[in-house]
Amino acid sequence: EPHARRGLPPAAQGRRRGARASRLCRGGGQPDAPAESWRALADLQLKAGDRADARTSYETYLTRAPEAQDRWLVESTLKTLE
């Protein structure tokens, strides 16, 4: 993790991830946002510990990309979030 090399404590690293997720959310929440942005947002939300929003973002990704090559992986991740 790049932030760990800078000597940031884990809590600060989590806040940085949350900030990245917030920036991505502003773009990902747009009606014309690419499906992949929802997947990336979900990954960031999950890393930040926001399981409920990650679940919603993963589900949105699968709805917008029903033929996604990584569908099996996302579905597997969703099962862990139940």
Over residues 33-54, the pLDDT tens digits come to 889 999 999 999 999 999 999 9
Instruction: Give the pLDDT band (50/70/90) at residue 1.
Output: very low
DSSP 60-82: HHHHH-TT-TTHHHHHHHHHHT-
Question: What pLDDT, on the 0 to 100 scale, is given for residue 32?
Answer: 74
Higher pLDDT, 22 or 72: 72
Specify the long-range contacts of residues 10-14, CB closer than 8 Å, at least 24 apart: 14/48, 14/49
Average pLDDT value for the chain = 79
For residue 77, what are the CA distances in angstroms to 3, 5, 6, 7, 28?
Answer: 25, 28, 30, 30, 20
> pTM of the entire structure?
0.67
Give dist(CA 30, CA 26) in Å, integer: 7
